[in-house]
Amino acid sequence: MNNPYTMHKLDNGLQIVIEKMPDVRSAAAGFLVRTGARDEVAPQAGVSHFLEHMMFKGTAKRGWRDITIALDDLGSQYNAFTSEDRTVYYGWVRKADLEKQIEILADMLRSTLPGEEFDMEKNVVLEEIAMAKDSLEHIAFDFVQEKVFAGHPLAWPVLGYEKTVQDLSRDTMWDYFKKRYTPDNIVLVVSGQVDPAAIIDLAEKYCGSWKPGNEETRRTPPEIKGGIDSCCIDRFNQQILILTLPAVCSTDRLVESASAVATILGGDNSRFFWNIVQAGVSTRAGAYLMDYSDYGAMLLYGACQPENAEKLLDAIRRESKRICEDGVQEEEVDRVKNRRRTSLALESETPYHRLTHLMDDIEYRGGPRTVEQMLADVDAVSVQTVREYLERYPLDAAGHLASVGPRAWPTES
C-alpha cells in the first residue's frame, strides 16, 4: 500500500499530518499541543487543563458564546482533553464542513483568555476536581502517580489541586500560554476524504501568521519508585490495589510485546479474568501499559471487597510470577494478534478513530503509521519477544504497591 500521508511544516514551525481516507463521508481535524501537566511547575499544577477550558472562552474574533454556537452550527462532534504531556482539541464533521472546523479550532487556539471569564471557569474546574474526589478509581490512580513519581512533575494530577487552581492567576496562565502554544509546539492532524494540498493551504491561511516561540520543552524521564503506600478513605466500599512496575517506553522495539503481556494478563479472556475475576476474588482486574515517549510503567490492578485485599494481591503476584517463570503460549500470542486485527479494521473506518491513532503515533511513536504498519508491528510479536520483554522488565519484581479504600492496609512495616 502507498503511504497515504502528507506531511508538511509551515514556515513558523507548525507541523501538519494528513491522512486521506477515500471511502468515508466525514472528516476529522485536531490540534495536538505538546504541553501537559508534566510541563508545569508545582505551584501551578493544573494550569494546562484549566487553560484547555479557557480555549473555549474567547478570541479576538469570537466570544465564548460565538465559539460554541459556531461549533454546534456545524453539527460537529468536538471536544478537548489534557493529559500529562499533551492537550488536544478536535472536531469530527461532515466532509463539507472541514474548512470551517479547522478555522474555528485555529481561532480558539489564539485565545485572548478573557479575564471576565477566568473566575467563572475556575469554578467549573473546581467542580471537576470535586467530582473526581467522588470517584475511587480516579483517587487511586492519582495516588499512584503521586507516590510512584514523587518529586517529578508527573506526580501531580492533571486537574491540579484545589489550592493550586484556586491560587492561579490569569497572568500566570497567560505566560504559560504564550510559551507553550507556539506553532513549533503544535501539530495539525487531519483525516478523512480530503485534498491534502487544500488542507495545507487552509493551515497556511489560518495558522500561518502565528509567531514562533523560543521555549524549549525540557522533560526528564521519571524514576519509578518502589515501596508500599496505602490511602485510607472510609467513605468508599471497595478497595483498589495497584501494583506498578517499570516498563518500556513507547519508542522501544518491544513496546508491542509489552502491550501483548498486558492483554494476556489483564484484557478480555485473560489470565486475570479467568483466575481472579472468575475465581470470585474481585469484580475487576486488569493490566495497563502506560507507555510514554520517555518512560513506561505496567500497572496491574484490581478492585475488591476490602476483606479480599490479601487474596487479590496474592492472585496478582501469583499470575505475575507465573508469566515470568513459564512465559506465554503461542496460542495466547495469536489470540492477541487476532483481536488486534479486528479492532484495527474497525478503528480504521472512521476519521475520528484514525485521528486519535495518528496523534498517538506522532506523539509516542515518532511519526504516523498506516494501519498496515500497525498490523506489522503487532505481527512481529512472538513468544520469544515476550520472553525477552519479561527478562528485561520482570513482573515478579517488588514494584510499588498502592492500596486505596476503607482499609488501611498494607503498611510497609
Partner 1 sequence: MNSTVHDSLPCGIEYAALPLPKRHVVSFCLRVFAGAVDDPEEKLGLAKLVGETIDKGTERHTGRELSDAYDAIGASIDIGVGRETTTISCTVLPDHFERAVELTAEMLRTPTFPQEMFSVNVDLAQQELIALQDDPQSLADKIITRQSYGSVLGRYPLGEEATLARIKQDDLSEFWHNYYCGGRTIFSVAGAVEVSCATDTIEKHFAGFGQAEKQGRSPHPFDFNASATHQTKDLEQQQISLCWPGAEVTHSDFPAQRVMLGILSGGMSGRLFTEVREKQGLVYWVGAWNDTPRGGSLIFLGASTTPQRCDKTYATLLREVDRLADDVTQMELDRAITGILAARETRGDATRSQCMELINDLFFFGRPIPAEEKDEKIKAVGIGDIRSFFAKYPRDRISVVTLGPRALGQSDES
Residues that bind partner 1 (CB under 8 A): 23-26, 56, 64-65, 68-69, 71-78, 92-94, 97, 119-125, 127-128, 130-131, 133-136, 235-238, 268-269, 274, 277-280, 282-283, 303-305, 331, 334-335, 337-343, 345-346, 348-352
Nearest partner of 257 among 379, 347, 394, 400, judged by Cα: 379
Q: Using CB atoms within 10 A of its CB, is residue 45 exposed (0-12), middle (13-18) or buried (19+)?
A: buried
Nearer to partner 1, 242 or 297 (CB): 242
What does the alpha-carbon distance between residue 75 and residue 277 come to, in Å, rounded to a whole number?
Answer: 42
What is the CA angle 337-343-344, rounded to 5?
85
* Backbone Cα Rg of the chain: 22
Nearer to partner 1, 209 or 338 (CB): 338
What is the CA angle 140-38-80, rounded to 5?
80
**Which three cell numbers mark 35?**
504541553
Task: State the minimum distance, in angstroms, from the CB of residue 97 to partner 1.
Answer: 8
Nearer to partner 1, 13 or 306 (CB): 306
Three-state helix/strand/coil letters over 325-386: HHCCCHHHHHHHHHHHHHHHHHHCCCHHHHHHHHHHHHHHHCCCCCHHHHHHHHHCCCHHHH
Nearer to partner 1, 173 or 245 (CB): 173
Nearer to partner 1, 131 or 197 (CB): 131
Task: State the minimum distance, in angstroms, from the CB of residue 41 to partner 1.
Answer: 25
Task: State the minimum distance, in angstroms, from the CB of residue 335 to partner 1.
Answer: 4
Per the CB < 8 A criterion, the answer to whether 193 and 24 are in contact is yes
Nearer to partner 1, 28 or 154 (CB): 28
What residues have CB less than 8 Å from 153, skipping those under 6 apart?
Answer: 37, 38, 39, 40, 41, 42
Nearer to partner 1, 269 or 384 (CB): 269
What are residue 106's phi and psi, to 5 degrees?
Answer: -65, -40
> CB 399: neighbour CB atoms within 10 A?
25
Nearest partner of 34 among 204, 198, 251, 215, judged by Cα: 215
What are residue 251's phi and psi, to 5 degrees?
Answer: -95, 0
Nearer to partner 1, 354 or 365 (CB): 354
Task: State the minimum distance, in angstroms, from the CB of residue 337 to partner 1.
Answer: 8
Task: State the minimum distance, in angstroms, from the CB of residue 128 to partner 1.
Answer: 4
Dihedral over Cα of 170, 176, 177, 179: its sign: positive
Task: State the minimum distance, in angstroms, from the CB of residue 73 to partner 1.
Answer: 6
Indicate the DSSP class of residue 137: H
Task: State the minimum distance, in angstroms, from the CB of residue 257 to partner 1.
Answer: 18
Task: State the minimum distance, in angstroms, from the CB of residue 383 to partner 1.
Answer: 16
Nearer to partner 1, 24 or 186 (CB): 24
Task: State the minimum distance, in angstroms, from the CB of residue 91 to partner 1.
Answer: 10
Nearer to partner 1, 22 or 151 (CB): 22
Per the CB < 8 A criterion, the answer to whether 186 and 33 are in contact is yes
Q: Which helix (H) or strand (E) holds 322?
A: helix 309-326
Give the DSSP letter string of 155-212: GS-TT--HHHHHH--HHHHHHHHHHHS-GGGEEEEEEES--HHHHHHHHHHHHTTPPP
Nearer to partner 1, 25 or 321 (CB): 25
Nearest partner of 78 among 91, 95, 69, judged by Cα: 91
Task: State the minimum distance, in angstroms, from the CB of residue 375 to partner 1.
Answer: 11
Task: State the minimum distance, in angstroms, from the CB of residue 28 to partner 1.
Answer: 9
